[in-house]
Amino acid sequence: MTNNFLLEVEDVWAGYVKDLDILQGVNFRILPGELVAVIGPNGAGKSTLAKTIFGLLTPHQGRITFKGRNIVGLKSNQIVQQGMCYVPQIANVFPSLSVEENLEMGAFIRSIDLAPLKDRIFTTFPALANRRRQKAGTLSGGERQMLAMGKALMLEPDLLLLDEPSAALSPVLVNSVFEQIQQINQGGTAIVLVEQNARKALAMAHRGYVLDTGRDYFSGPGLELLNDPKVGELYLGASIH
């Protein structure tokens, strides 16, 4: 694995419409076990980066390497089999299925006894344990987000891509979801956290990237970016001092 990076994105250009690139030469790296935040203004390309890494978009230039293998051109299900999972911002659970059935669907490529895995998820997300037979569509926004993460963790991925997990949640639920994300990372899972809540994301991240107009303008340790006056002025809403 080059330089021991789990994932490397090198000079990637990608978009949804031909000749109209959202990502314009993005570079990004994450080490095994790291929590790396991706922040930036609306339209900066944050979610596009996550979708491109996961094979939902194919870059027309650049290279994406996961565990030392170029994954450009692989379908999402093939990338899942390599050890990467993606939790989109919306439509990330099966609303008509129970909490427990959602977890089982998350492990669709595994042919093992799922009971120990489900027990581990219910330990990680106690709020779900008492709702295991409840339909996912009746859960609160925060509970649905926890279920979506739990569903992905049923595959025990090496890398988890989280796209705006705090979107539309109340401040109390945001804190709860962020605590769960930190706990998942402390268990050894590397996490790419694409997040509008820039301050919270940087405060908990080992490293961060600031995207703007499809490029990585700043990168560095999370707390350094959080306390950088220029990053604060341009991307955190105001001067942070």
- At residue 209, what are phi and psi to the nearest 5 degrees? -125, 135
Beta strands 159-163 and 35-39: pairing type? unpaired
What lies within 8 Å, CB to CB, of 192 at 6+ separation is 7, 30, 36, 38, 50, 53, 159, 160, 161, 162
Is the model's pLDDT at 167 over the cut of 90?
no
Class of the domain covering 2-235: alpha beta
Q: What is the pLDDT of residue 241?
A: 34
pLDDT mean across residues, the chain = 91
Is the model's pLDDT at 108 over the cut of 80?
no
Q: What percent of the chain has pLDDT over 90?
A: 73
What lies within 8 Å, CB to CB, of 69 at 6+ separation is 82
Q: What percent of the chain has pLDDT over 70?
A: 96
Q: What is the pLDDT of residue 239?
A: 38
Is the model's pLDDT at 37 over the cut of 50?
yes
Q: How confident is the model at residue 64 (pLDDT cuts 50, 70, 90)?
A: very high
- At residue 42, what are phi and psi to the nearest 5 degrees? -55, 140
pLDDT in tens, 208-223: 999 999 999 999 999 9
Q: How confident is the model at residue 90 (pLDDT cuts 50, 70, 90)?
A: confident
Q: How far is CA 112 from CA 107, 117, 135, in A?
A: 9, 10, 24
Contact 49, 209 (CB under 8 A): no
* Bridge partner list, 36: 192, 207
Q: How confident is the model at residue 2 (pLDDT cuts 50, 70, 90)?
A: very low
Q: What is the pLDDT of residue 240?
A: 37
Closest C-alpha among 210, 148, 156 to residue 180:
148
Q: What is the pLDDT of residue 132?
A: 92
Q: What is the pLDDT of residue 51?
A: 96
Reading across the β-sheet that carries 190-194, which strands appear in turn?
84-87, 159-163, 190-194, 35-39, 207-212, 215-221
The domain spans of the chain are 2-235
